[in-house]
Structures are given as structure tokens and as C-alpha cells.
Amino acid sequence: MLSPNDWTNLPERRAFTYTPPSDPLKIIYTDDDLLIIDKPSGLLSVPGRDNPDSAQTRLLDLHPESLLVHRLDMATSGLMAFARNKPAQRHLGLQFERRHTTKTYIARVAGQVAGKSGRINMPLIADWPNRPRQMVSWELGKPSVTDWEVLEHEDFATRLALHPITGRSHQLRVHSWAMGHPILGDRIYAVDEVFNAAPRLHLHAWKLGLRHPKDGTHVHFEAECMF
């Protein structure tokens, strides 16, 4: 068993083959302006250079009018919002850009997190020689803030609710790692013991709140966490 201090030693780059799940795309909600899906772990949000299969392309097969609003990491599961027309896309896109949405993720992280809640305020920047890895940089990083609260302590792990205030790439994964508790199953940031502790990245976009693009009313969505 590694000590908690060893969990923050970054691993060597792991080999990876894109093998997305073949299950039908799960649509949580739809109306004339808005589409909400529950993206499975392992499926790209948008097509990659060599990987055309993605949540966006699968949704276009079902709803050709659907328009991208935001993204999730490939390994992250949970709620993604799409628009069904250009005005709705602009309305929703501005909400995400201006941080007017509310987002809650569930994560299982290595070890016993001390305390009941807290805030991680660590600026992030791309680690260009090791892309897609991101890193903390107090000199060059962009402001990145995550609030957290403990949901449950387990023998080896802690279940957290994570509330990203900003929306940087890999923010929740890097912030969890930097606080000494990397997310179980994280191929990019977790050492072998933590990576092998789960069959996938244990990070799920659980709840999403936003204003409906038609009339501005607050709407809230939830996708069941499967770990």
C-alpha cells in the first residue's frame, strides 16, 4: 500500500486505445430548444482527429438539428446539454461562459479526505510537452476554483461532491490530485494503485442547473451515478 504522499507522483504516460461503449445514447430530457444527455464514460464529447464516434455525432444521427454547447472529458460520464436551434445555443453558451450554470460532480478519490468541505484555488495551465495533461502554475495558470464536500468515507477512498466554479480542462482531476487525493481510475494523473482501483474514471457529472433558453426559468437535471 502506498502512502498518501506517494499518490501525487505523476505516472508515466499510459498507452491508450479508443474503444467507446456501444450502448444507445441516453437522452434525459428534450423539448423544442434543449436536449440533455447522460454521456457514458469512454465516449468522446466531440469527434477526434482519428475518432469520428462521439456523443455529438451519435446525437446528430437522432436529432440532426442538435448543436454543441459544452463538453465533458472522454472518461467522465454524466450530463451534457445541447441546443436544438441557434438562438438556444447562443443563450446556453453564454450561461456556461459567464458561469451562470450550477454543476455538481461525484468523484471517488483515493484516501481519507480530512474535513467536511473546502475550496481548492489553484491556477491551471496546459502541460504542453505532456498533453493532454494540465498542471498547476501560480505564475502562468488561469484562475481555477473548485468547492468540495465529503459525501461518504470508504475504507480506501472518499466520495466527494465537487462544484467547479470555473471550467478549466481537467480541472477536477488536477485539483483532486493536487490536494493529495487523485480520482480512482484516472489514466492521466493517478499512480498505478489508484488507477487500478476502479475500472473507469470515477468522475460523474451528476447535477446541472441552468436557465431555459426559451423563457429564462431555472431548470435542473440529474443523472444517476453508476459507481
Q: What is the pLDDT of residues 13-65, one digit of tens each?
A: 899 999 999 999 999 999 999 999 999 999 999 998 888 999 999 999 999 99
> Is the CATH number of domain 18-222 3.40.50.1000?
no
165: cell is 466554479
Please report, as a single letter, which amino acid is at residue 168.
Answer: R
Nearest to 200 by CA among 78, 111, 81, 27: 78
Mark whether 73 is an active-site residue.
yes
Give the pLDDT score at 50.
86
pTM: 0.95
Q: What is the pLDDT of residues 145-196, one digit of tens each?
A: 999 999 999 999 999 999 999 999 999 999 999 999 999 999 999 999 999 9
Query: Beta-carbon neighbour count of residue 111 at 10 Å?
Result: 18
CB 89 within 8 A of CB 97: no
Q: Parse the chain into domains and list their residue ranges.
A: 18-222
Active-site option among 23, 33, 50, 73:
73
pLDDT > 90 fraction of the chain, expressed in percent and rounded = 90
Separation in Å, CA 145 to CA 62, 102, 122: 36, 13, 7
